[in-house]
Amino acid sequence: MTYTNFTVETDADGIALVTWNMPDRSMNVFTEEVMGELDKIIDQVVADAGIKGAVITSGKETFSGGADLTMLQKMLKLYAKEKAKDADKAAKLLFDNAGRMGALWRKLETSGKPWVSAINGTCMGGAFELSLACHGRVAADSDKVKMALPEVKVGIFPGAGGTQRVPRLADPQSALQMLTSGQTLTPQKAKGMNLIHAVVEPKKLIETAKGMIRNGLKPVQPWDEKGFKLPGGPVYSAAGANLWPPAIAILRRETYGNYPAATAILKCVYEGLLVPFDTGLRIEQRYFTEIMQTREAAAMIRSLFVSLQELNKGARRPEGITDTKFKKIGIIGAGFMGAGIAYVTAKAGIPVVLVDRDQEAADKGKAHSDSLISDQVKKGRAKPEERDKLLSLITPSADYADLAGCDLVVEAVFEDSEVKKATTEKAEAVLKSSSVFASNTSTIPITSLGKNSARPKNFIGIHFFSPVDKMMLVEIIMGKKTGDKALAVAMDFVRAIKKTPIVVNDTRGFYVNRCVLRYMSEAFKMLIEGVPAAMIENAAKAAGMPVGPLALTDETAVDLAQKIMKQTIRDLGEKAVDPRQMALINTMVDSHGRLGRKNTKGFYDYPAKPAKKKLWPGLKDLYPQKAPENVDVEELKLRLLSVIALEAARVMEECIVTDPREADVGSILAFGFAPYTGGALSYIDGIGAKKFVKIAKDLQKKYGAEFKAPKLLIDMAEKGDTFYQRFDPYAKSEEKKAA
C-alpha cells in the first residue's frame, strides 16, 4: 500500500518502519490527509500477520510541529456557520471533530501490536501526544531534539490525550507545570520525567527503537494494566491534598484567570485521574470543545500562530523582488543597541562589520557579543565552537571604508539628527549604489533622516527593541521616498536573524512607542489622582500585562521619559504634554535623582540581588493617597488596556499600520499586550466596536481626551465592522485568485 505522506518498510524481523515525510512541507504537520493515512497504516499493521510491531519516525530533520492550526481555524469557522443554524448540532460537530485525533491515538495504543516512536528532532503538540500513545519512546541525543505540549501558548490545550497520559507517566507536580506552561523538554528532562524510555546517539535511534520490539515490548500501556497506580498517588490522598490547593493558587497567581485553557488543564487532570483512562479522554474532549468556543482561543490561535507564521514568512514583503542573500552587513555604532544587532546578525551566520568612532569603542561592542555567547556556553546552551564561529564573523573597526561591499548598513548611533546626518554621508560615500541604508532611530521620523541620503529610495528605518537578543519584534519604518527594494531587503534581514517584522509608515513614535507611551502616561495620571502605586501595577498585571507601567518606565529610564516629554513640547508646543505629568517626571528626575533601573532607583528601588525590587515608599508622599477601597480596580484595568487599544485604532486610522495582523502581533511581541486578547485590535474586536465605543465615551467623560474614540471606530460601530473585516489582510490574495 502506498501513501502520500508516509512510507512503510518491513524488515526481515517483521518490524515495520513508518517514516513520515510530507512532500511539500519543510516540517511534518497533522492535516486531515495525514490523519487519514495514519488510520490506514494502523489498520495495515494490525491486519498483517507478518508485522510484529512498528516504529514511527520522521524523514525530515524535525519529527513534527504538531497539528496544522489552520485546520483548527477551519473547524471554528465551520462551527460558527453551523451555530447560526442549530447551536446544539454545531456543538456536537465540534465535539466529534475535537475527539478525532485522540481516538486515533487510542486506536494505536490498543491495537494489540507494539509501537515505538523514534524522535529525531522537534516533536511538538499532537506529535508528542502520538509519541506518548506509543508503547516505547526513544529520542536522539541531540540539541535539535525538543519535546513539548505548547498548545496553552495559543489559547488551547493538549486535547489528544496529553492531559491524561502525562500525569499517568510523570509525577503530578512536574506534569502540571509542563502542561500549564507549555514547557519545552530536552531528551534528558523528558527521560527524567518518565515521558520517554531512552536517549541514544542519533545513528542508533532506529536500531534502538526496533530493538525494543525485538526484545518483547509489551503492546499494552501501563494505565491499561490491572492494578495500575498513579505516580503521585490518588488525588484523594495526603500527597494530593498537598498538591492540588497550591496548584490552583499558583495558576491563579500566574494567570489571573485570563487563560481559560490553563484552567481547563487543571480540571482535565484532576477529574481525569479520578476515573478510568477512557473516561478521562472523554472529559478532556469535553473541555477541549468548551475551550475551542472561547473568544480567547480564537484570538490567540489567529494572532500567536496563524498571523505570526504569516508575518515570519514575509506576508508583507513586496512581490517580484529577488530574495537577498546577505554576504556582509554593516553596523554603525557599537553601543548597547548596535552591539546587540551585531550579535544577532553573527548568530544568523552573516559576517558583520561593527564600526564606531575609535577602535576601542568598536572592540567593546564586539566584547558584548563575547559576553552573551560565553554565557550561553557556560549554561550549556551553546558549544565552544559555536562561540568561536560567531565571534569570527564580527569585525570591529573605526574605518568607514570597511563598510564597502555591505548589502545593508544599520546605523545605531546617538539619537541626534546631526550625528545621524554625518553617519549617513560617511557610509554612503563607500557603499555601492544598490546598498540599503537603515536607521535604528526610535524617535526621529525616517522621512526627515532620509533627506540626508543621496539615495532616499534605499533609505529605511529598522527599529529594534532592547535587549536585541531577546526581543522578537522589529519595526520596519517606511519613509515617504522609501522604495520597495529597500523594504524587501529590510524584511529579508529581519527574517534572516529570526525576528518578526512589521511594516510601519512614518510618524512620531512609529507604532509601538506610541502605544507604550500611552500606557505609561495613563499610569502617571493615576498616580497624580492618588491611586496607590501598588494598585496600578497589580491592576496592569491582572489585566494581562507582563510588566506594570511604572516598572516599564524604570526599564526604559525615567529620564528618557523626561527627554521625550521635553522634545515633544519643543516640537508640538506646551499643550502636547500634560503639565502635571511633566511635573511628576521632573520631580522624580531632578528633585530625587530617580532615573530608573539604570541607577537602581526609579519608581522602584533596586537593591542588590538576591533581594527583589520594591516600589519606592516616597511615591505615596508625592500626592494625597486614595483609600484602596475607594479605587475601582476593574476600571483601572479597563483604562490601561483601552488607552493602548485606542492608540492602536488611531494608528490604523492614520494608515501608519495598514494590516491588523501587524498591529496585533506587534502589540504582543513588543510590550506584551494581554496575549489572551489576541492583541490591541483583537481586544476591540472581541468586545465589539459598538460596545467598545460606549466604554471609551464613558472613560472620556471621567478621565479625558486620551479616551476619545477616533472616527474610524465610531464608523465601525455604526456598521458593525471588525478590524479584520474593514482591513481584511487576505483581500488582495483573494482578488488575485478570482482574477
Q: What is the mean pLDDT of residues 12-35?
A: 94
The answer to whether 475 is a known catalytic residue is yes
User: Tens of pLDDT along 474-507?
Assistant: 999 999 999 999 999 999 999 999 999 999 998 8
Q: Is 513 a catalytic residue?
A: yes
The three cell numbers locating residue 395: 569585525
Q: What percent of the chain has pLDDT over 70?
A: 99
Q: Measure Cα distances from 233 to 176, 239, 242, 247 in Å.
A: 15, 7, 11, 16
**Numbered ranges of CATH 1.10.1040.50 in the chain:** 513-726
Pairing of β 198-200 and β 136-140: parallel
- pLDDT tens digits, 192-205: 999 999 999 999 99
pLDDT at position 120 over 90? yes
Assess whether pLDDT exceeds 60 at residue 115: yes
Distance, in Å, from the CA atom of 650 to the CA atom of 646, rounded to the nearest integer, reads: 6
* Catalytic (active site) residue 592: no
Query: What mean pLDDT value characterizes the chain?
Result: 93
- At 315, is the pLDDT very low, low, confident or very high (cuts 50, 70, 90)? very high
Cell numbers standing for residue 452? 540626508
Confidence of residue 94 (pLDDT cuts 50, 70, 90): confident
pLDDT band at 552 (very low <50, low <70, confident <90, very high): very high
Q: Span 324-339, mean pLDDT? A: 95
Catalytic site residue from 453, 513, 521, 682 = 513
Provide mean pLDDT across the span 307-316: 93
- Per-residue pLDDT tens digits for 579-602: 999 999 999 999 999 999 989 999
- The closest of 591, 596, 515 to 557, measured between CA atoms, is 596
Question: What mean pLDDT comes out for the span 27-51?
Answer: 95
pLDDT per residue over 632-646, tens digit each? Answer: 999 999 999 999 999
Cell triple for 162: 496529553
CATH numeric code, 6-293? 3.90.226.10
CA distance 244 to 372: 39
Of the residues 475, 647, 662, 706, which is catalytic?
475
pLDDT band at 411 (very low <50, low <70, confident <90, very high): very high
Report pLDDT for 78. Answer: 84
Superfamily of domain 329-508: NAD(P)-binding Rossmann-like Domain (3.40.50.720)
Q: Using the predicted structure, report yes or no on whether residue 298 has a pLDDT greater than 70.
A: yes
10 phi, psi to nearest 5 deg: -105, 130
Residue 300 cell numbers, joined: 490567540
**Residue 81 C-alpha from the chain's centroid:** 30
Q: Report whether pLDDT(73) > 60.
A: yes
- CA-nearest of 134, 142, 125 to 53 is 134
Is the per-residue pLDDT at 739 higher than 80? no
336 pLDDT above the threshold of 80: yes
Residue with cell 486610522: 653
The predicted pLDDT at position 733 comes to 59
The residue-averaged pLDDT of 258-282 equals: 96
- pLDDT of 735 reads 53
List Cα–Cα distances, 698 to 535, 686, 691, in angstroms.
22, 19, 11
Confidence of residue 734 (pLDDT cuts 50, 70, 90): low
Strand partners, 596: 601
Confidence of residue 93 (pLDDT cuts 50, 70, 90): confident
Q: Whole-angstrom Cα distance, residue 734 to residue 407?
A: 34
Looking at the chain, the domain(s) classified CATH 3.90.226.10 span 6-293
What does the DSSP 8-state code read for residue 603? S
Of 31-35, 94-98, 506-510, the range with the lowest mean pLDDT is 506-510
Return the amino acid letter for 302.
R
Dihedral Cα 608, 609, 612, 618, nearest 10 deg: 0
394: DSSP letter: E
Which pLDDT band, with edges at 50, 70 and 90, does 679 fall under? very high
More confident of the two residues 165 and 731: 165
Marked catalytic residue, from 303, 435, 442, 505: 442
Is pLDDT above 80 for 304?
yes
Q: Which CATH number is correct for 513-726, 1.10.287.3510, 1.10.1040.50, 3.30.360.10, 1.10.287.130?
A: 1.10.1040.50
Instruction: Quick: pLDDT tens for 422-465.
Output: 999 999 999 999 999 999 987 788 998 999 999 999 999 999 99
CATH 3.40.50.720 residue ranges in the chain? Answer: 329-508
**Which one is catalytic: 97, 368, 463, 662?**
463
- Using the Cα atoms of residue 158, residue 159, residue 165 and residue 167 in order, give the sign of their dihedral: positive
Residue-wise pLDDT for 130-161, tens only, equals 999 999 999 999 989 999 999 999 999 999 99
Three-state helix/strand/coil letters over 489-500 = HHHHHHHHCCCE
Single-letter amino acid code for the residue at 472: M
Residue 30, CB half-sphere, CA atoms under 13 Å: how many?
A: 23
> Is 681's pLDDT higher than 80?
yes
pLDDT, average across residues 45-63: 96
